[in-house]
Amino acid sequence: MIAPSISKFKQLKLYMLSYLVKHAVNPVSTPLKTPYVLAVFLLILGVVAGFFVGQGAAPTRTITVTTLVTSPVAPVGLTGEVRIGALLPLTGVLSTFGAQYRVVIELAEREINGYLTALGRPWRIKFVFEDTATDPKTHLDKLMALHGAGVRVFIGGASSAELSEALGYCNANRILIISPSSTSPALALEDMALRYTLNDIYQGKAIAKIMWLRGVRWVIPVWRGDTWGDGLSKYTNDYFKEICRASGERCGVLEADAIRYDPKATEFSVEAARLNDAVSRAAAAYGRDKVGILLISFEEAAAIFAAAKAYPILQEVKWTGSDGTAAIEPLRDPAIADVVMKVGFYNTMASPGVSPHGEKIRREVKTKLGMEPMGYTYFVYDIAWTLALAIDAANSYDPVKVMGILPSILGRYLGGSGYIELDKNGDRSIGDYDIWAIVKVGDRYEWKVIGIYRGLTETIELYS
């Protein structure tokens, strides 16, 4: 990730302040037992508050311990519970995402309210959870219901289809919605939505490079026919064809054999039979080692692999996936995990980068859910925290004001996913992709990060 242009001194300052506020001096986990500790704690918090408040360059301020202890700065106007809608796919084909998102939002809520308590603020944050079932209409219905109850700021749009369905309503009603995992390039717009992840123009490059590096020269695409699937498959195929042209080799995308399936499908015997025919023809013409399957899917990938088990040749070519299938629980099922591992199913997922909060988030998800957190889970943590900081700095729950101050907050925030910089459309501007694959550990199948794609240099590093 490219960090904003700040001095090394400020980077160190940010690191220390961020670490102290959310770790060493979190009043939830570390009671403040003496006046001296309280004074030091308030001094740190006062510097943090002064550092975050305001747009543009942070003002130079002299803050004394006495001032902080006797007259803590508190915004006027925010009192009681400030509610943030958390529209999560707790069920449906992104339920692994939703489960992880809820765990870290609950963690952030505890931390934020401890922070506000220590500052003497008269308001507390409250995340209101709703299950979208990974369904765009349900997502919109839940958003509208919460808006009717007074909620005007949301974490949501886990899938691009969900975000797309909600955008018209959010724009018309000036509702702020921030997504951790919507990646469709079609949604790279200047609107009331922000996305703390990269759009799929970048992921398409990463997947194409990975397939090429693995020796794939002929790609057969299979993808879910929605806003996200259509966009990611297009960009991946286009970039793969660019690599082919530059190489001078005989290679390409077998578009006549491509399979676009209904996102609501749950059974894939017909698609598996078609894929078997396509792979058989391609393998006969070019060799099995040069044929690869590109699968752009959500958790229905488990049903696709189950159907593919009926055809031996589908287990003899390389499969490559994406963020929709990285680290998802259904592919760890022993009934299919052996096939997933055999075909070397590599999956890209936006990397959270290095952060002092990384291990804390990992430990929370591992303890509560027994799984490794995906990159987007770290992004959710950052959405929760930066929303709280922006609301506090703006001294307002007005979505337009909060959205306006967020870029200033992000320029000074070191979160669970490192530094965050948004482009003019409100999307994360550049970053890396972890490469996830299923491995066997003892008698269990586990997800593991086996490499990384570096966005800045467009290079791949595979770990030993």
DSSP track, 161-181:
HHHHHHHHHHHHHT-EEEESS
Query: Rounded to an integer, what distance in angstroms lies between the CA atom of residue 401 and that of residue 91?
Result: 33
184 and 321 inside one domain: no
What is the helix (H) or strand (E) element at residue 435, kind and residue range?
strand 433-441
The CA-CA-CA angle for residues 411, 28, 10, to 5°, reads 25
Residue 444 lies in a domain: no
**From CA 248, how far away is CA 235, in angstroms rounded?**
20
pLDDT in tens, 243-293: 999 999 999 999 999 999 999 999 999 999 999 999 999 999 999 999 999
Overall domain count for the chain? 2
Same domain, 153 and 193: yes
Give the torsion sign (CA, 399, 403, 408, 409): positive
Last residue of a domain, one of 345, 368, 387: 345
170 and 95, same structural domain? yes
56-98 pLDDT, tens per residue?
A: 333 322 222 222 222 344 445 899 999 999 999 999 999 999 9
For the whole model, what pTM was predicted?
0.84
pLDDT score recorded for residue 205: 97
41: pLDDT strictly greater than 80: no
- pLDDT on residue 430: 82
Strands annotated E in 78-208 = 80-88, 123-131, 153-155, 176-179, 193-195
* Residue that is last in its domain, among 323, 345, 367: 345
Residue 18 pLDDT: 41
For residue 450, tell me if it sits in a domain.
no
Say whether both 226 and 195 belong to one domain.
Answer: no
Over the chain, what is the mean pLDDT?
87
**pLDDT at 32 > cutoff 90:** no
Q: Compute the Cα dihedral for 151, 156, 157, 159 and give only its sign.
A: negative
In Å, the largest CA–CA distance within the chain is 80
- The pLDDT of residue 408 is 96
Percent of the chain predicted with pLDDT > 70 = 84
Same domain, 374 and 357: yes
Phi/psi-derived region of residue 134, left when phi > 0, alpha when psi is between -120 and 50, beta in every other case: left
178 and 228, same domain (yes or no): no
Domain that holds residue 163: 1-199+353-431
Q: Are residues 226 and 274 in the same domain?
A: yes
- Same domain? For 138 and 253 the reply is no
In-domain check, residue 94: yes
pLDDT of 21 reads 38
The helix-helix angle for 399-410 and 375-394 (nearest 10°) equals 120
Residues 71 and 141 in one domain: yes
- pLDDT tens-digit map of 366-419: 999 999 999 999 999 999 999 999 999 999 999 999 999 999 999 999 999 999
Q: Which of 327, 345, 363 is the last residue of a domain?
A: 345
Which CATH number do you get for residue 191? 3.40.50.2300
Same domain, 232 and 165: no
| Owner of token pair 């998800």 | 365
pLDDT at 70: 28
Q: Is residue 97 a part of any domain in this protein? A: yes
Are 338 and 358 in a shared domain? no
Task: Please report whether residue 459 resides in a domain.
Answer: no
Mean pLDDT over 196-216 rounds to: 97
Q: Which candidate, 345, 372, 346, 349, places its Cα nearest to that of 359?
A: 372
Residue 34 sits in the same domain as residue 166: yes
> Does 464 fall in a domain?
no
Sheet holding 123-131, edge to edge: 123-131, 80-88, 153-155, 176-179, 193-195
> Quick check: 447 pLDDT over 60?
yes
Give tens-digit pLDDT for 6-23: 333 333 333 344 434 333
2's CB contacts (< 8 A; 6+ apart) are: 419, 421, 429, 430, 456
- Least Cα distance to 195 among 420, 456, 433 occurs for 420
